[in-house]
Structure 1
Amino acid sequence: MNVETLSVLLRPRRLEDRIVQAAALVFDVDGTLAETEGIHRRAFNAAFIEAGLDWYWDYRTYKKLLRTTGGKERIRAFARSRFPRVCLSDSVVIALHQRKTRHYGRLIAQHTCRLRPGIASLIRNARARGQALAIATTTTSSNIDDLLSVALDQNWRSLFTAVVAGDDVERKKPAPDVYLEVLARLKQRASDCLAIEDSANGLKAAIAAGIPTLINRSEYFRDDDFSGALAVVDDLTEFGLIPAAGVNHLEEMRFEKVWPDRND
């Protein structure tokens, strides 16, 4: 029995009810809303070239580095692994990460990165039901804006009641800080919300904050341990199709035009 079949069998029969009845849906960003980790990897490599470094992160290297949350933290982790006796200063790490951030924004705009399947419909129907939407991520605020200004539109912030990034809290995932801050801003109980994540670190963070979690499994984290998740799915298409009574036709048409679900 493969993982996908087992996931379906173990899924609560009324997972749809958990989605519909949640006071708020709280989304991770990278890998969850869009498959962006490959773009992050390319941006890091472009920054290394620009800085005159002979570093290169291939797929396998970056997959291992993703166990460390945060871009600046990954730079430090890689430097320690290659040069154990060298400690990069904060100013060097920050400057290198700023280069990477600029390249990420360029690549996102160049490739018109889109939302993963089902995400647009899920957001649309959640808003029609009157549910709050929030973001809890370890990426930076500028990365969120670069992505969602392209994948949604320039007014994407108006859709979310709370947006908490990695630079807004002291500790990044798997610590629960971003989720605890989101709950404080939403003024909601953890058990009344639903987190949507793609990685084991994200799952651990949400569970530590007491939030039930649905895993939208992504490219780089497909083989993570998702024990404790409500369910594990490969995309959110079926959940985006949960009907919402009273959707304004013009509003639905606008969402469909601006937010195509698929990456083709």
Structure 2
Amino acid sequence: MMNQVAALIFDVDGTLAETEEAHRYAFNRAFSEAGLNWTWNQETYRKLLKVSGGKERILAFAPDASPELVAGLHNRKNQIYTKMVDSGQVSFRPGVESLISSARAQGLKLAVATTATRANVETLLGARKAFFHTIACAEDVRRKKPDPEVYALVLKRLDLPADKCLVLEDSVNGVTAATTIGLKVVVTPSLYTKGQDFSAAAAVLKDLSGITLAKLIELKG
């Protein structure tokens, strides 16, 4: 069974780590510092997460915002988020570290397919960045999830067919992006994606704690 999978492809926000509350806090701090009376509560942010990309969410919330304002807010948000990660306020979800170690020991390639910014991804990964064969981020694609572009790019860089890879995701946008090009997906819903329609996924798990690599690959079917 193990030889049927040659690579694991991870989403980042909500999948590798429960990052979205940190992002929401950072957005609100950036808004406040800019003198804006915008506040994204959990309900508002849950709706905005249907839009992929931080700049895109700002525009979805405030369509008339200038490009300069959007870029400035997003840049400041990322600075605040980076400090939160560096101070240990964001950690990997249960079972993720163990799964990465097992995959490396078995000789599987590891990849990231996200439409988060490269700076945020590299901040979260830290030294673990070296474990990944390729990391595809927002800067690498024109269209964000649910468009499959980022997954197509990762497959090209891995030089592997879709049936030799398994994707770890947390959102319906991610599942749609991956399954559109034939990738199988195991979902671990996050705080903001619980209750979404994951019927296209191969399996849905609470998290990865206690899940061996062999079991995960078995779920791929």
| TM-score normalised by L of structure 1 | 0.78
The answer on 1:133 being equivalent to 2:95 is no
Instruction: Find the aligned partners of 1:104 and 1:210 in 2 and give their Cα distance.
Output: 34
For 1:41, the aligned partner's letter is R
Match of 2:169 in 1: 197
For 1:190, the aligned partner's letter is A
The answer on 1:122 being equivalent to 2:99 is yes
Match of 1:249 in 2: none
Deviation per CA, 1:94-116, whole angstroms, max 9, x where unpaired? 11100111011011222342211
Match of 1:94 in 2: 71
Q: How far has the Cα of 1:158 moved from its partner? A: 1.5
Contact 2:8 2:166 in 1 (8 A): yes
Structure 1 gap segments, 5+ residues each: 1-16, 81-86, 244-264
Q: How far has the Cα of 1:168 moved from its partner? A: 1.0
Contact 1:134 1:163 in 2 (8 A): yes
The answer on 1:111 being equivalent to 2:94 is no
Residues 205 and 241 from structure 1, CA distance in 2 versus in 1: closer, same or farther, beyond 3 angstroms?
closer
For 2:178, the aligned partner's letter is A
Match of 2:17 in 1: 34
Q: Give the secondary-structure state (helix, strand or coil) at the position aligned to 2:8.
A: strand
Deviation per CA, 1:83-133, whole angstroms, max 9, x where unpaired? xxxx22222211110011101101122234221111111000100110000
Q: How far has the Cα of 1:242 moved from its partner? A: 4.5
Match of 1:187 in 2: 159
Aligned partner (choices 148, 158, 161) of residue 176 of structure 1: 148
Instruction: Find the aligned partners of 1:24 and 1:67 in 2 and give their Cα distance.
Output: 27
- Kindly report which structure 2 residues correspond to 1:176-255, keeping only aligned pairs within 5 A, or say none: 176-240=148-212, 242=214
Instruction: Find the aligned partners of 2:57 and 2:3 in 1 and give their Cα distance.
Output: 37
Deviation per CA, 1:146-172, whole angstroms, max 9, x where unpaired? 1112xxxx3x22100110001210000
Deviation per CA, 1:169-210, whole angstroms, max 9, x where unpaired? 000000001100000100000111000000000000001121
| TM-score normalised by L of structure 2 | 0.93
Q: How far has the Cα of 1:138 moved from its partner? A: 1.1
Residues 134 and 91 from structure 1, CA distance in 2 versus in 1: closer, same or farther, beyond 3 angstroms?
same
The answer on 1:64 being equivalent to 2:36 is no
Match of 1:148 in 2: 125
Aligned partner (choices 13, 16, 38) of residue 55 of structure 1: 38
Instruction: Find the aligned partners of 1:219 and 1:20 in 2 and give their Cα distance.
Output: 33
Contact 1:119 1:240 in 2 (8 A): no
Q: Give the secondary-structure state (helix, strand or coil) at the position aligned to 1:213.
A: strand
Match of 2:218 in 1: none
Q: How far has the Cα of 1:241 moved from its partner? A: 6.2
Q: Give the secondary-structure state (helix, strand or coil) at the position aligned to 1:237.
A: coil
Q: How far has the Cα of 1:21 moved from its partner? A: 3.3
Structure 2 gap segments, 5+ residues each: 216-221
Contact 1:179 1:205 in 2 (8 A): yes
Q: How far has the Cα of 1:20 moved from its partner? A: 6.6
Instruction: Find the aligned partners of 1:133 and 1:24 in 2 and give their Cα distance.
Output: 6
Q: Give the secondary-structure state (helix, strand or coil) at the position aligned to 2:210.
A: helix
Contact 1:39 1:104 in 2 (8 A): yes
Which of these two proteins has the greater Rg computed from alpha carbons?
1
Q: Give the secondary-structure state (helix, strand or coil) at the position aligned to 2:151.
A: helix
Q: Give the ranges of 4+ consecutive aligned residues of structure 1 lying more than 4 Å apart after TM superposition.
A: none
Instruction: Find the aligned partners of 1:135 and 1:241 in 2 and give their Cα distance.
Output: 17
